[in-house]
Amino acid sequence: MPAHRFRSGTTRRSHPAKRFPALGTLVAAFSLLLAVPAQAADTPARGSAHLGMGVVAHDGQGGIPADSRATQTEGVDVSSHQGNVAWATLWSSGVKWAYAKATEGTYYTNPYFAQQYNGSYSVGMIRGAYHFATPDTTTGATQANYFVDHGGGWSQDGRTLPGVLDIEWNPYGASCYGKTQSAMVSWISSFLTQYKARTGRDAVIYTATTWWTECTGNYAGFATATPLWIARYATAVGTLPAGWGFYTMWQYTSSGPTVGDHNKFNGALDRVVALANG
């Protein structure tokens, strides 16, 4: 009798555990997948952060300031999101200064930085570089060094603005990067001190009043030496962080022409030149 046939009168009964040996494993694995938080899909990729990334979500989007206000000079800020920028178009529209993202943390450099930083300069703009801070990854001094070493330096040519510390909502996790207010102030101080040691210039602080209040306790101690670049997408700049009686720059919209992020420098073009000259 062939080996695969059964004897007459007998019935084969299959045991569920033997017939489907992997069923229990598959169910367990599926349960584990359901238990994993769906965080990865909502979290942007490291390096993708940029000036004002959290402004609309936290502070909202208002109107555009009227052109009839006190003399101000139009500027833009760019990152890898804009790619190669049409600088001649922006210059013709009245944009006279620009900042380009150079670095983030100690793990990212903007692949379009050269086109943006040098391209704005080539059409006649006064330009500068900014660093997106990640206080939960390395120290302030370490990130200041990384910034200076990768495009964030300063030269006294009358066309280069001091570097900017972009300190705002954490797009990758907790808004204040897991730091207490005093620890955040210490981190910012470390960055500013090292940047000045490397370049001889006080860096500009870019922030939003709501974030600054929450994450530094509305600390006023940097205002005497550090220019303020405030983010508020509305018809008026609103309340400034403690210590600053005026802003130097104001990012007022993320939906401007040619390049989304548009800004006002608080003064005529000669004041932009004055900041570049220190």
Any idea which residues carry the catalytic annotation?
77, 166, 168
What is the rounded distance in angstroms from the CA atom of residue 72 to the CA atom of residue 208?
A: 20
CB 212 within 8 A of CB 184: no
In the block, residue with structure tokens 């990729």: 45
Where are the strands (E) in the chain, listed by range?
73-78, 97-104, 108-109, 126-132, 164-166, 204-207, 228-231, 249-253, 262-265
Distance of CA 241 to the CA centre of its chain: 19
Distance between first and last Cα of the chain: 100
CB 95 within 8 A of CB 75: yes
What is the rounded distance in angstroms from the CA atom of residue 210 to the CA atom of residue 187?
A: 18
What is the rounded distance in angstroms from the CA atom of residue 86 to the CA atom of residue 75?
A: 14
